[in-house]
Amino acid sequence: MSQEQHTADKHQVGYGTYVLIWLVLLSLTVTTVAVSGINLGNFILFTALLIALVKSILVVNVFMHIKFDEPIFKVFLGVAIMTLLAVFILISFDIFFR
Amino acid sequence: MGNHVLDTTYIDFYKEKGKYSGLFSWIFSTDHKRIGIMYLFGMVIFFLVGMTLGFLMKLEMLTKGQTIVDAQTYNAFFTLHGIIMIFLFIIPGIPAAFGNFFLPIQIGAKDVAFPRLNLLSWWLYIFGGLLAIFSLFLAGGPIDTGWTFYVPYSIRTQTNVIIPLLAAFILGFSSILTGLNFVTTVHRLRAPGMTFFKMPLFVWALYSTAWIQVVATPVIGITIVLVIVERLFGVGLFDPALGGDPVLFQHLFWIYSHPAVYIMILPAMGVVSEIIPTFARRTIFGYKAIAFSSLAIAFIGYFVWAHHMFTSGMSETARFVFSLLTFLVAIPSGVKVFNWVATLYKGSIYPGVPLLYVMAFIFLFSIGGLTGLVLGSLATNVHVHDTYFVVAHFHYVMFGGTAMILFAALHYWFPKMFGKMYNEKTAKVALALIFIGFNTMYFTMFILGYQGMPRRYWDYLPEYTALHHISTFGSWILVAGLLLMFYNLLMGLLKGEKAPMNPWGGTTLEWTVPSPPPLENFDVIPTVTHEPYYHPNEEEKH
């Protein structure tokens, strides 16, 4: 990637988008807090994690520029996420079978 | 591969005039070679402290009851011995000292990708180390939790826990930054023609290790923060009465600390893959198999952590799964040992000091690895858990494995790093003492362990007396050997003969530059045309 292209990519996201994403993140936080007051039974954890996932995707892609940067960063991130997932699965062999 | 420094009257990196002079020319230097040497000296000092503590512990165990220290001091001794040896010696170990010095040279680069970050990681290492030592002298007394910081004891003990934990946190950052630097360096700074499969196997090992450092180390950082929060605010993360789970701590701790075992051993395996072809005068057997086995060990090593927890109250299913996964690590490890031995087969072997260290390593590491299978099996694990058997096992793997190879690396690359030679005869005597002392000291512990002697106990029953005597006697021989080794190297440094460019007949790029190398390693960045262990005369001989 040439220097000019790189610079051009950096400016793909305008301030408007950043503010919009920030507002979406704030509203999702409010949703998390609001939902915690409702008795959803077994789905409470699932809901909280789902909202957190959406927020993470927004932050990683837009604020951390993963969407616009070189593919190798996606590989790095992928390795970290897959490792975390594997750790969760292996721990579940303990938690759910005690 | 020719000489890549054009001027015969070159200036070596020690004599190069920089911005600063004296001590500042070292502690503010961003040259990867100076940083490597600073790490090496830091580690040797910490090793000597850890060794002294170990020596005193063995002396304490010479007789039943109190010999030289009381029980509380003994608890502090084994904790500090563990923290110093693990966090300050063996984890930074080979990557920080030899990786920093040789990784850029072996891939034909002038430095690492981020030299300033490299210096920062050394500063963090020293700061973390000093903080750990500083905590010993604070009110409350030295930490007595063992290096594993297990809850609930680490939350309840009145000794200083938070500061050593912070020290470990800072040391973790140092490790992450080194890993980040190495991954980037390998991806970005390889010389023309240096494809991934033309890289020396030491670089492959460092690359695999760096990934573990980057991905696993943050977990210990988080775990440490959780223990500190728990100690300060009692939020109940690990307290069942408040909805927490003490086993959760063990999971979190070992999710890092088991891969950390591979941070320790993988670079050592890389050094072995360098030394054997050099001293067998032939190319490595199964280059790709060794390279991929490093990645495989790094990968599988992530998923076996709970084999440290078979008796901690984990579910039966988890114990079965982790026992099975643990056995899988034996496959890539076996691939490596097979290929090393196969490389020696029909080689024109020169039994130089580094190769003798490697031979000692293969012997000791094989014992360590096979007794690891005893511990990885559920049934036998329950019997020998938390006994001297475990202590013997991990010393065979870590000391007989990693530290032996660190010494091998020191003897292999000493001429290149310092431009001086050491006395080979004295080095062989030192190795013989180390090998005899090591086995006398630690093999006895296997027997003590399966007879039921628990680890971390200050006192013991009369039936263990004879074996404790033998073990302590072994520690004296071992320490004598280690001191002789360091003395010999120091004498080499001060009075040794000038080392030639390539004393061992090595074929990787570091042997194409003068000893010691110039500031930016190469006048002309080399173009790599053949594989790293290419011995041109090899085919004629066979």
pLDDT tens sequence across B21-38: 888 889 999 999 999 999
Cα(B277)–Cα(B346) distance, rounded to whole angstroms?
Answer: 12
**Does position B375 have pLDDT exceeding 70, yes or no?**
yes
Q: What's the domain range around A79?
A: 70-98
Cα distances (Å, whole numbers) of residue B113 to B30, B86, B142, B183, B268 = 11, 27, 39, 9, 23
Are A94 and B316 an interchain contact pair (Cβ–Cβ within 8 Å)?
A: no
Cα(B310)–Cα(B318) distance, rounded to whole angstroms?
Answer: 9
Q: In terms of domains, do A84 and A42 share one?
A: no
Residues in chain B closer than 8 A to A98 (CB atoms): 314-315
Task: State what percent of residues in chain B have pLDDT above 90.
Answer: 76
Q: How many domains does chain A have?
A: 2
Q: In terms of domains, do A46 and A89 share one?
A: no
Q: In terms of domains, do A85 and A59 share one?
A: no
Question: B291: which 2 tokens?
Answer: 């390279």
Q: In terms of domains, do A8 and A50 share one?
A: yes
Summary count for chain B: helices (H), strands (E)? 19, 0
**Does position B380 have pLDDT exceeding 50, yes or no?**
yes
Are A97 and B317 an interchain contact pair (Cβ–Cβ within 8 Å)?
A: yes
- The verdict on ipTM greater than 0.90 is no
A89 to chain B, any CB pair closer than 8 A? The answer is no
Do residues B254 and B305 lie in contact, with contact meaning Cβ atoms separated by under 8 Å?
yes
Q: Pick the closest to residue B199 from B309, B290, B320 (CA basis).
A: B290
Question: B144: which 2 tokens?
Answer: 């007595």
Q: Pick the closest to residue B107 from B215, B25, B14, B188 (CA basis).
A: B188
Taking only the tens place, the pLDDT of each residue in A39-64 is 888 788 889 999 999 999 999 999 98
**Does position A94 have pLDDT exceeding 50, yes or no?**
yes
Residues 6+ apart with CB under 8 A from B9: none
**Does position B109 have pLDDT exceeding 80, yes or no?**
yes
Mean pLDDT of chain B: 92
Domain boundaries, chain B: 24-541
According to DSSP, the residues that pair with B518 across neighbouring strands are B12
Q: Which segment of A4-8, B43-47, B59-63, B295-299 scores lowest on mean pLDDT?
A: A4-8
Are A93 and B247 an interchain contact pair (Cβ–Cβ within 8 Å)?
A: no
Question: Span B270-290, mean pLDDT?
Answer: 94
Are B317 and A83 an interchain contact pair (Cβ–Cβ within 8 Å)?
A: no
Question: Span B203-218, mean pLDDT?
Answer: 91
Q: In terms of domains, do A7 and A43 share one?
A: yes
Beta strands in B320-366, from DSSP E residues, in sequence order: none
Are A90 and B318 an interchain contact pair (Cβ–Cβ within 8 Å)?
A: yes
Torsion of CA B142, B398, B90, B358, to 10 degrees: 150
Q: In terms of domains, do A20 and A44 share one?
A: yes
Q: Which residue of B has its CA nearest to A96?
A: B315
**Does position B221 have pLDDT exceeding 50, yes or no?**
yes
One-letter amino acid for residue A65 of the chain: H
Question: A81: which 2 tokens?
Answer: 């996420």
Distance (Å) from the alpha carbon of A97 to chain B's nearest alpha carbon:
6
Question: Span B347-354, mean pLDDT?
Answer: 94
Q: Bigger pLDDT: B346 or B120?
A: B120
Q: In terms of domains, do A23 and A41 share one?
A: yes
Question: B164: which 2 tokens?
Answer: 């050593």
Q: How far is CA B361 from the centre of its chain?
A: 13
Torsion of CA B77, B81, B82, B86, to 10 degrees: 160
A91 to chain B, any CB pair closer than 8 A? The answer is yes
Cα(B525)–Cα(B513) distance, rounded to whole angstroms?
Answer: 11
Q: Which segment of B90-94, B175-179, B359-363 scores lowest on mean pLDDT?
A: B90-94
Helix residue spans in B69-200 (DSSP H)? 71-83, 93-94, 100-106, 115-134, 153-156, 162-188
Q: In terms of domains, do A56 and A21 share one?
A: yes
According to DSSP, the residues that pair with B12 across neighbouring strands are B518
In this prediction, residue A10 carries a pLDDT of: 54
Coil, strand, or helix at residue B498? Answer: strand
Are A93 and B187 an interchain contact pair (Cβ–Cβ within 8 Å)?
A: no
Helix residue spans in B135-161 (DSSP H)? 153-156
Which residue, among A94, A96, A97, A98, would best test binding to B if mutated, counting the most B CBs under 10 Å from its CB?
A94
Angle at CA of residue B65, ends B61 and B66, nearest 5°: 80
Q: In terms of domains, do A74 and A31 share one?
A: no
One-letter amino acid for residue B304 of the chain: V
Q: In terms of domains, do A49 and A79 share one?
A: no
Residues of B232-266 as b/e, b for ≥16 C-beta within 10 angstroms?
A: eeeeebbbeeeebbbbbbbbbbbbbbbbbbbbbbb
In this prediction, residue A1 carries a pLDDT of: 42
Q: Bigger pLDDT: B242 or B7?
A: B242
In this prediction, residue B3 carries a pLDDT of: 62
Residue with token string 């094989």? B366
Topology (CATH level 3) of domain B24-541: Cytochrome C Oxidase; Chain A (1.20.210)
Q: In terms of domains, do A34 and A57 share one?
A: yes
Distance (Å) from the alpha carbon of A80 to chain B's nearest alpha carbon:
6
The shortest CB-CB distance from A93 to any of B215, B302, B318 is to B318
Could you tell me the pLDDT band of residue B449, with boundaries at 50, 70 and 90?
very high
Per DSSP, B67 falls in state S
